[in-house]
C-alpha cells in the first residue's frame, strides 16, 4: 500500500473546503455527514452552498486565504475548479500542517476521498489510491446491496449496550454473544423491521449472561469447499465461515490467498496428505477436528473443490457424529466445473450430453479399479478425478470394452488457477499424450461420449492454451 487507510476524527474540528462551485458542493455533501464545522472559502457561493450558509449548516469565509484558516482543520479540500488555484491553496494549507485533498489531482493529495457505504456508525470506505475511482464505485454498489439499509441503527443499538455486555456477560462468552447478535436472530429481526423485537432479544440475552442456549453451536464444524484454487471462486458462505472460525484445518492444495480470508487471529493448521506420505492419515485428521470442536471452538475444515466430492468429507462427518458434535457442509465449486470452464466447455448439452458422471482414477481399498466403461454410456460426460497417474489403465479399460479410439479426451491440471494446463487428445492416444505433455495432478480427465445424433452448441470460448 502507498496509503494507509484510517478514519479521521472530526468531532470539535473544522473541515475547510476551498471553492464555491459544483465541485466544492460535492465535497460539502460528503462532509455534511460528519459532525465537523464546515467552512467554505470562496468569494461567492453557488445556489446550493448559499442555501446551506443561510441556514447555518456551513460557514462562508469570504476573506483572504491565509495559514490561519487552516489551523486545527481535520481536513482541507481544494475544489476551486482551477488547477493552478487548487495547487496554490493546497501548498498554503500543507505549509500550515493540514491534511489536503486536491480534487482530480492525486499527485497533490495527502489523502484520497474514498467511495463510502454509509450505515453510520458502520462506515465502509473503498479506495484505490486515486488509480481507479470508477472501480471503487462499483465495489460500493455491491456492498450497498449486501448491507441492509438500516444496519447502522442496529450497530448503534449494539454500541449503546456494550457497557452492559461488559458488566453482565463473562468475557469467555462475549465472542459467541456478539456472533449471535450480528449473525442470528437479533440482526434478522432488525432487518425485517422489527426493531423492538431485536432490542428485546439483546437485552434479555444480556440479563441472562450470554446468548441463548443452542443459539450458537459451540464446537460447530463447517466442512467448507474452497473451490478449485482461485480465491474468488470460494462462496460467500465459505468466506463467512472462515471469518467466524477459531481454527482452520486446511488441505495441501489450498491457495494461501484463500487462507487470507480467515480472521487474522484464527489458528491455521495444515493437515494436507502428500501422496506416498503418512504424516496426516485420515484417522489423525478426524481426531484433531473432533478435539478442537470438543473445546467449544468454531472449526472450519477447508477442502479443495467441494467437500462432498472425493474429499473424504463423509469420513470426517462420521467421526463428528460419533463424538456427538454438530457439523455442516458448505459446498464449493468442484474441479469438474472449473475444468469445463477452462476449456470453454459445458458439462451437459441438450440433445448431446444429458448425464454427468463424477468418478475417480484411484482403485478402491481392496485394489479394484473402477469400471469406467460401465459408466461411459452414450450421452455421458465422465469426469475422472486424480486420474492422470492411471491414464494407461483408464485407456486400456475403455478400449478393452470396445469404446472407439477416436473418442474425445480433455485433461485439465490445476483448473481455476492461473497456472492451469490443458491437453486435448483422443482416447487411443491419451496415455502417450499425458506422458509427453507432463501434465500432472491435481487434474481432471473429461471423457465425452455424445449421443449418436448431436445438436451440441458449436460456439465455445477458446481456452488459454492447448497442448497435444
Task: Report the catalytic residues.
Answer: 251, 273
| Cβ contact 207:168 at 8 Å | yes
| Cβ contact 395:466 at 8 Å | no
Cβ–Cβ contacts within 10 Å for residue 46, how many?
A: 15
Spacing of C-alpha 287 from chain mean position: 29
Q: How far is CA 177 from CA 165, 221, 362, in A?
A: 9, 18, 46
Reduced to 3 states (helix: H, G, I; strand: E, B; else coil), residue 227 is: strand
Say how far apart CA 285 and CA 411 lie, in whole Å: 30
Contacts of 184 (CB under 8 A, 6+ apart): 211, 215, 216
- Alpha-carbon torsion angle 369, 373, 374, 375, nearest 10: 100
Assigned C-alpha cell, 306: 467441494
Say how far apart CA 49 and CA 368 lie, in whole Å: 81
| Cβ contact 411:467 at 8 Å | no
Reduced to 3 states (helix: H, G, I; strand: E, B; else coil), residue 448 is: strand
| Cβ contact 103:28 at 8 Å | no
Contacts of 377 (CB under 8 A, 6+ apart): 355, 449
3-state SS of 133-183 is HHHHHHHHHHHHHHCCCCHHHHHHHHHHCHHHHHHHCCHHHHHHHHHHHHH
Contacts of 282 (CB under 8 A, 6+ apart): 273, 312, 315, 316
Assigned C-alpha cell, 138: 462499483
Q: What angle do CA 258, 260, 265 make, to 5 degrees?
A: 135
Assigned C-alpha cell, 228: 478449485
* DSSP assignment string, 185-202: HHHHHHHTT-HHHHHHHH
Cβ–Cβ contacts within 10 Å for residue 107, how many?
A: 7
What are residue 78's phi and psi, to 5 degrees?
-95, 105
| Cβ contact 154:190 at 8 Å | yes
Amino acid at each position: 500500500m502507498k496509503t494507509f487507510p484510517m478514519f479521521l476524527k472530526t468531532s470539535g474540528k473544522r473541515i475547510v473546503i476551498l471553492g464555491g462551485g459544483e465541485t466544492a458542493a460535492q465535497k460539502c455533501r460528503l462532509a455534511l455527514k460528519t459532525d465537523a464545522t464546515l467552512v467554505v472559502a470562496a468569494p461567492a457561493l453557488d445556489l446550493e452552498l448559499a442555501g446551506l450558509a443561510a441556514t447555518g449548516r456551513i460557514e462562508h469565509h469570504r476573506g483572504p486565504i491565509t495559514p490561519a484558516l487552516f489551523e486545527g482543520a481535520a481536513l482541507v479540500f481544494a475544489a476551486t475548479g482551477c488547477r493552478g488555484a487548487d495547487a496554490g491553496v493546497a501548498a498554503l494549507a500543507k505549509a500550515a500542517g493540514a491534511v489536503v485533498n486536491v480534487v482530480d489531482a492525486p499527485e497533490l493529495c495527502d489523502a484520497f476521498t474514498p467511495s463510502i457505504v454509509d450505515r453510520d456508525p458502520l462506515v465502509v470506505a473503498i479506495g484505490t489510491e486515486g488509480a481507479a475511482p470508477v472501480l471503487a464505485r462499483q465495489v460500493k454498489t455491491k456492498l450497498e446491496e449486501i448491507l441492509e439499509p438500516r444496519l447502522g441503527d442496529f450497530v448503534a443499538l449494539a454500541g449503546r449496550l456494550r457497557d452492559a455486555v461488559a458488566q453482565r456477560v463473562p468475557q469467555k462468552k462475549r465472542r459467541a454473544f456478539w456472533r449471535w447478535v450480528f449473525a442470528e436472530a437479533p440482526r434478522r429481526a432488525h432487518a425485517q423491521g422489527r426493531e423492538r423485537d431485536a432490542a428485546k432479544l439483546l437485552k434479555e440475552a444480556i440479563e441472562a449472561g450470554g446468548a441463548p442456549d443452542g443459539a450458537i453451536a459451540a464446537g460447530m464444524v463447517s466442512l467448507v469447499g474452497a473451490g478449485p484454487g482461485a480465491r474468488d471462486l470460494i462462496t460467500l458462505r465459505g468466506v463467512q465461515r472462515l471469518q467466524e472460525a477459531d481454527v482452520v484445518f486446511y488441505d495441501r492444495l489450498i491457495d494461501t490467498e484463500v487462507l487470507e480470508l480467515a480472521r487474522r487471529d484464527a489458528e491455521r493448521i495444515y493437515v494436507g496428505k502428500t501422496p506416498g506420505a503418512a504424516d496426516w492419515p485420515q484417522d489423525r485428521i478426524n481426531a484433531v477436528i473432533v478435539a478442537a470442536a470438543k473445546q467449544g471452538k468454531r472449526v472450519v475444515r477447508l477442502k479443495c473443490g467441494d467437500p462432498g466430492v472425493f474429499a473424504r468429507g463423509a469420513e470426517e462427518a462420521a467421526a463428528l457424529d460419533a463424538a456427538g458434535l454438530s457439523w455442516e457442509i458448505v459446498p464449493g465449486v468442484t474441479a469438474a466445473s472449473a475444468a469445463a470452464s477452462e476449456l470453454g466447455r459445458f458439462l451437459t448439452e441438450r440433445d448431446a450430453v444429458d448425464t454427468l458422471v463424477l468418478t475417480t482414477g484411484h482403485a478402491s481399498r481392496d485394489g479394484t479399479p473402477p469400471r469406467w466403461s460401465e459408466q461411459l454410456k452414450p450421452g455421458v460426460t465422465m469426469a475422472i478425478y486424480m486420474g492422470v497417474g492411471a491414464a494407461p489403465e483408464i485407456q486400456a479399460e475403455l478400449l478393452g470394452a470396445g469404446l472407439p479410439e477416436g473418442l474425445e479426451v480433455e485433461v485439465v491440471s490445476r483448473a481455476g488457477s492461473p497456472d492451469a494446463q490443458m491437453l486435448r487428445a483422443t482416447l487411443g492416444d491419451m496415455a502417450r499424450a499425458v506422458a509427453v505433455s507432463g501434465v500432472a495432478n491435481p487434474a481432471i480427465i473429461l471423457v465425452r461420449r455424445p449421443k449418436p445424433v448431436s445438436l451440441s452448441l458449436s460456439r465455445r470460448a477458446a481456452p488459454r492454451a492447448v497442448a497435444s
